[in-house]
Amino acid sequence: MKKIHLTAIGIFAACISACGGAKTETDLMDSLKAVAVDEKWDPIAPDTAAMRKKYTVVEIVTNMGIMEVALFDATPKHRANFLKLVEKGFYSDLLFHRVKNEFMIQGGDPESKKAAKGKSLGQGGPNYNIDAEMLDSLHHYKGALCAARLGDEQNPQKQSSGSQFYIITGSKFGTTALKNAIKDRAMISFMANPDNLSYQLRMQTYKQRNDNVAMQVLLEDLKKEVGPLTDSLYKSMPNRTRQMYATWGGFPALDKEYTIFGFLLSGYDVLDKIQKVKVDGQDRPVDDVKILKVRIIK
């Protein structure tokens, strides 16, 4: 199973690349997470106590501490699959093989067990996928437990990996930053519409010609087209969702792109420690972050 693809910022990455810029994934993430000061919210947090009472709770023991997660009933296929793997001891001695500060930590690749230092990871799985279970009511807030998957080109149905998962760390998104994240989704929807094929063809042509001037004009046209859709998406977002992203944090660019099937109840100090570890060029921790065992506790 390949690493998580940032499909929600892929369009802009392609545009910037086509224009000759040298922006990296980190640059794009930085542009999304800038905290705006144009709207104030009272701080709120997820109701983890209610989740603990309502849902099945699983303990993830790592060499850096213990985390507990709740598994949502509203995503039954992912819940059942995760519990099946936990009961088999599948996750014991696997690694959190991909870590990006202020984004997420990812694990569940069976090839990470006893993997040599520096080995590229993120391709393994149990040789099956799970149908997507995306719900409008679930968001990529900090602590969200989500299923990794192949990118859209190879996986248009957005099916989840059979075993790989990630936990969101993210950052806080003020109004402007949240609109930027929504704009990315609006751009994806716009470019995926067959009626807008001419934009894709123009983009390809300008890229082949290395015509940066024409590409910049195209991008300005796209901004004008996508602007109203962005505003509409923002206004349709519940106030509590905006408030959560602004004061609790997360990574909204991935909403409606990956299945969220649980939430972190405790161990946020462990999550924060893991996200800050030193990583190599493939985002693998230099010193292994190991999942010692996973067990059902409620």
Which amino acid is residue 172, in one-letter code? K
Percent of the chain with pLDDT over 70: 87
Question: Which pLDDT belongs to residue 9?
Answer: 44
Half-sphere exposure of 202 (CA within 13 A, CB side): 15
Angle value at C-alpha 13, between 9 and 15, nearest 5 degrees:
120
Instruction: Give phi and psi for 141, each to the nearest 5.
Output: -70, 160
User: What's the rounded Cα separation, in Å, for the pair 173 and 32?
Assistant: 8
Give the residue among 107, 55, 52, 62 at the shortest CA–CA distance from 85: 107
User: What's the rounded Cα separation, in Å, for the pair 270 and 107?
Assistant: 15
User: What's the rounded Cα separation, in Å, for the pair 99 and 261?
Assistant: 20
* Structure tokens belonging to residue 218: 């195209």
For every residue of 13-35, DSSP letters joined together read HHHHHHTT----HHHHHHHHHPP
Question: Which pLDDT belongs to residue 30?
Answer: 52
- Tracing tokens 């997470």 back to the chain, one arrives at 33
Q: Is the sign of the CA dihedral 237, 241, 247, 250 positive or negative?
A: negative
Question: Which pLDDT belongs to residue 38?
Answer: 57
Question: Which pLDDT belongs to residue 7?
Answer: 47
pLDDT grade, residue 269 (50/70/90)?
very high
Question: Which pLDDT belongs to residue 8?
Answer: 44
pLDDT grade, residue 29 (50/70/90)?
low
* Structure tokens belonging to residue 287: 């010193």
Give pLDDT tens digits for 142-160: 999 999 999 888 999 999 9
Q: Of the ranges 107-116, 120-129, 141-150, 193-202, which one carries the lowest mean pLDDT score? A: 193-202
* Mean per-residue pLDDT over the chain, rounded: 88
Question: Which pLDDT belongs to residue 160?
Answer: 97
Question: Which pLDDT belongs to residue 136?
Answer: 93
Quick one: which H or E segment has residue 237? none
* Structure tokens belonging to residue 11: 């369009």
Give pLDDT tens digits for 32-43: 554 444 578 999
Question: Which pLDDT belongs to residue 67?
Answer: 98
Percent of the chain with pLDDT over 90: 68
Question: Which pLDDT belongs to residue 36?
Answer: 43
Give the residue among 178, 298, 291, 169 at the shortest CA–CA distance from 239: 178
Q: Of the ranges 49-53, 64-68, 226-230, which one carries the lowest mean pLDDT score? A: 226-230
Q: What CATH class is the domain 48-172+249-296?
A: mainly beta
Q: How far does the chain reach from its first CA to its final CA, in angstroms? A: 30
Which amino acid is residue 254, in one-letter code? L
Angle value at C-alpha 9, between 262 and 119, nearest 5 degrees:
70
What are the start-end ranges of the H helices in the chain? Answer: 7-18, 25-33, 48-54, 76-88, 175-192, 197-209, 212-236, 239-247, 268-275
Give the residue among 123, 250, 232, 112 at the shortest CA–CA distance from 177: 250
Question: Which pLDDT belongs to residue 190?
Answer: 85
What are the structural domain ranges in the chain? Answer: 7-37+175-241, 48-172+249-296
